[in-house]
Chain A
Amino acid sequence: MSAGKAGQPSLLFTPGESLLHRANPITSLALMLWMISAAAVLPTIGTTVLTAAAILVSLVTGVGKRAVKRLLLTMTPIGVALVVVHGLLIERPDFYDHGLVSISPSGLDYALKVFMRVAAMLMATLLFVTTTHPADMLKALDQRGVPPGVGYLVASPLLLIEPFSDRAKAIRDAQRVRGLDMTGSWKARIKALPVLLMPLITLALSDLDQRASVLSGRAFRALPRRTVINAPHDSTFQLWLRRILFALAVLQLGIPLLWR
């Protein structure tokens, strides 16, 4: 039996059989870093093409719906804020009256530049997290000989979010049946916050001690390397592709800096 991924609440990951799904997670990571690096230096037209390409890839790989939804949810408020701040509020020499408001074309240009840059970076990240399961990422890190502690730092926040929020809800319910008013004014709610937070923090600290014992009991970090079961597929081609992508990511950022 293999350690599959069925029925796991694994954040944004969407199962699939695309090239990106089958790629070694470190290769996907290298691609994401290259895209982020490119988004940081490309002009607006470049970041627009990059974002469009990433959306196209997400659609082809079957993760488009989830990725684009997240992109829109995140970028809409950012876009509105950028237009208001750079197009309407920050005073620039090219301000002109347009009925009720004054608009700056250069401010809008700048807002679009920042918007597309952030969108490209976000889309690169979304492409990575929707096609790479965190468990595979951990295995890939183990496979590359990354210390087990680093892998734990990656995995545990992802895994502990759910039990932690379940516990927070349980504490909230327990306090409510004991008479804590959570429906009153903001002042009353803020007043209730310590009563909710204290048990949560105390229990989290107690868990910390217990989990350290469990990890020690399972020989965590006792040896420098771990066995990897169901190790992600890797190839010489992917190895060289990663090297090129990492080198490009560094050069793209480094050369303009040196040029200046």
Chain B
Amino acid sequence: MALIDVADLAFRFPRAEKLVLDGITLSIEAGERVAILAPNAAGKTTLARWLSGLLPEGVLTAERGHVAMAGKPFAEWPVAERATAIQFVGQVPSQQLTGCAFTVYEEIAFGPCNLALPEAEVRARVDEALTICNLRHLAERDPFTLSGGETQRLSIAAALAMKPRVLVLDEPTSNLDPESRDDLLAQLDLLPGGLTIIVLEVALRPSLALAKRFLLLDEGKIVADGTASEVLNDPRCIATLGMTAVTEAAFRLREAGRWPDAVPLPLTLNEALESFGAPLAHG
């Protein structure tokens, strides 16, 4: 059984004409690292909220279909159990703070404290999250005085402190400078292999660093599902999200007849460096 199952999910906001999600069906296995790529207004954040169990809520219910984790629909999960099973980090950093903590340390400890864990366990979890997200030097700061990027790292740390089985990240690096982004991606890559990570992104580079499986969401539908090479070279992905700088450079070289058709276009700098030998040898 897959860890998360989405079955024919269709959803629209009250009084809206158009469906935001239109018949989404997908399964995510435990430990998978999945990137759901989508242009703006494609239903990315809404899908992230469904995958995290934050929907359905009140009048916001599915027209058809459902989302289940470990075979149980989210609606049947008690709050504490759901919080330890799955964590969602949204894309607006200031909206991810609880508003109930006077320091970064307390903000991270807030969730584990709510689970009534022993104090030593809470401290161990906070220490680990501080290290992973490079926040140790900010532990005593007021969360509301942090920059956007620091707040984003804090939100991720607070989510990690809940020790979830699944981490859903909605554009996690959108507020980070290149150095902080690379640091965070490297740290996320070091997280335990059992942790399932679902990242919803508009940017290709951070997705390539995090995920092994890629899906393309367009106008509320999953239109591609496969490896990085399969999805990122899909014409629909190129049309909506473009190419990475490396891929585009290789593509132009191919158009100029300087990149052999037999050598696939590289997606990352490492792939490009590996591929350079081939065209040079052919050339």
Contacts and interface: CB of A to CB of B under 8 A. Distances in A.
Contact of B78 (A135, A207, A222): A222
B52 A219 contact: no
Given A210-B92, A215-B98, A226 B113 contact: yes
B144 interface: yes
A159 interface: yes
19 contacts: A3-B139, A4-B140, A151-B100, A155-B100, A159-B102, A163-B94, A211-B98, A211-B99, A217-B83, A217-B111, A218-B98, A218-B162, A219-B114, A219-B162, A222-B78, A226-B116, A227-B115, A227-B116, A227-B122
Interface residues of A, number: 42
Contacts of A219: 79-80, 83-84, 111, 114-115, 162
A25 interface: no
Contact of B140 (A3, A210, A214): A3
A213 B103 CA distance: 20
Contacts of B92: 210
Nearest to B112: A227
A135 B102 contact: yes
B191 interface: no
A240 interface: no
A235 interface: no
Interface in A205-229: 207, 210-211, 213-223, 225-229
A221 B115 CA distance: 9
A155 B98 CA distance: 10
B54 A213 contact: yes
Interface string A129-157: 00001110010000000001001100110
B30 interface: no
A232 to B, nearest CB: 14
Contact of A229 (B54, B80, B122): B122
Interface in A157-211: 159-160, 162-163, 207, 210-211
A162 B94 CA distance: 12
Given A151-B100, A155-B99, A163-B94, 4 more contacts: A210-B95, A211-B99, A213-B49, A218-B158
Given A211-B95, A217-B54, A223-B116, A159 B83 contact: no
Pick the most buried of A6, A215, A216, A229: most chain B CB atoms within 10 A of its CB: A229
Interface in B101-132: 101-103, 105-106, 109-119, 122-123, 127, 130
A169 to B, nearest CB: 14
Pick the most buried of B87, B111, B113: most chain A CB atoms within 10 A of its CB: B113
A204 to B, nearest CB: 11
Nearest to B102: A135
The 3 closest A-B pairs by CB, nearest first: A218-B111, A222-B80, A219-B83
Interface stretch (A7-15, A56-64, A84-92): A7-15
Nearest to B106: A3
Nearest to B103: A3
Contacts of B79: 216, 219, 221-222
A159 B114 contact: no
B90 interface: yes
A1 interface: yes
B24 to A, nearest CB: 20
A255 B68 CA distance: 62
A149 to B, nearest CB: 10
